[in-house]
Amino acid sequence: MNKNQTRTLSVCLSPALLSSYNLEDSIVVVIDIFRASTSICYGIHNGATSIIPVSTVEECLKYSSSGHLLAAERNGAIVEGFNFGNSPFSYTIDKVQGKTIVLTTTNGTRSIQLSKSKRASKVLVGSFLNITALCNWLKIQGQSVVLLCAGWKENFSLEDTLFAGAAVEKLKDGFLIKDDAAHAAFDLYQLAKVDIGSYLKKSSHSARLEKLNIEADIKFCLELDTVDSIPVLSGDKLIKMI
């Protein structure tokens, strides 16, 4: 049997559902569209040397005297006393080029660390910004892929699911799809793709983010293919793979 016919493509809708997935020998793509995975893709593309994901604000603070940029977000807002949170506009070339960033976010960093602990063969970061570069690379690897939605506080989120659906659309011909979540994500994306921003108006996260007055962030996070870099976890750091 052709290797490509045996590799599977799965969508895990929340890190709380990850126990159903065997990540060994699989490539995991961590997705946290609003906004951690978007900002990580943008920052790595803009020349950040590395981004170190940490679980807690306290761990982040341990790097205070390291010279690194410290980024901490909780409930969508920058934690007081930090350089910045997870708005992509904080990850521009002028701010991050040649810098290491230590980042803790409500949802995204936990998914990265869980994937590592479950021995994924590679942990990548995906966003609408690098979706085509990412999927083109995944197509030629001959390995199973798990698209891991970080969600919101361990629960299902529409925006991460839509990204997973968009990736399923690009990848499905070369993979075996066995799980229901991949079919659901694909179908939801078909409904949404004409105008993802409008579709997401009903999502809970949009309502939360609206309160934070970050409409420009949302628009930015939904732009397709603005970068061609792929962040990969190497040891404890996210670095540029391509």
Cα 52 to chain centroid distance, Å, stands at 14
Q: Residue 191 or 216: which CB sits closer to a second copy?
A: 191
Cβ-count burial 143-180 (b if 16+ within 10 Å, e if not): ebbbbbbbbbeeeebbbbbbbbbbbbbebeebbebebe
Return the H-helix or E-strand segment holding 103. strand 100-104
Residues 112-171 that bind a second copy (CB under 8 A): 152-158, 161
Binding flag, residue 62, a second copy (CB under 8 A) = no
Q: Residue 184 or 239: which CB sits closer to a second copy?
A: 184
With CB under 8 A as the contact rule, the residue among 179, 212, 223, 226 that binds a second copy is: 179
With CB under 8 A as the contact rule, the residue among 4, 141, 204, 226 that binds a second copy is: 204
Q: Residue 3 or 202: which CB sits closer to a second copy?
A: 202
**Quick check: 172 and 29 in contact, CB under 8 A?**
no
**Quick check: 138 and 27 in contact, CB under 8 A?**
yes
With CB under 8 A as the contact rule, the residue among 1, 2, 5, 20 that binds a second copy is: 20
Question: How many of the chain's residues bind a second copy (CB under 8 A)?
Answer: 27
Binding flag, residue 52, a second copy (CB under 8 A) = no
- Outline where the chain has alpha helix (H): 3-6, 36-45, 57-61, 93-96, 108-117, 131-139, 158-171, 180-192, 196-199, 204-211, 215-221
Least Å distance, CB 89 to a second copy, is 25
Given the rule CB under 8 A, which residues bind a second copy?
13-14, 16-17, 19-20, 152-158, 161, 178-181, 183-184, 187-188, 191, 202-205
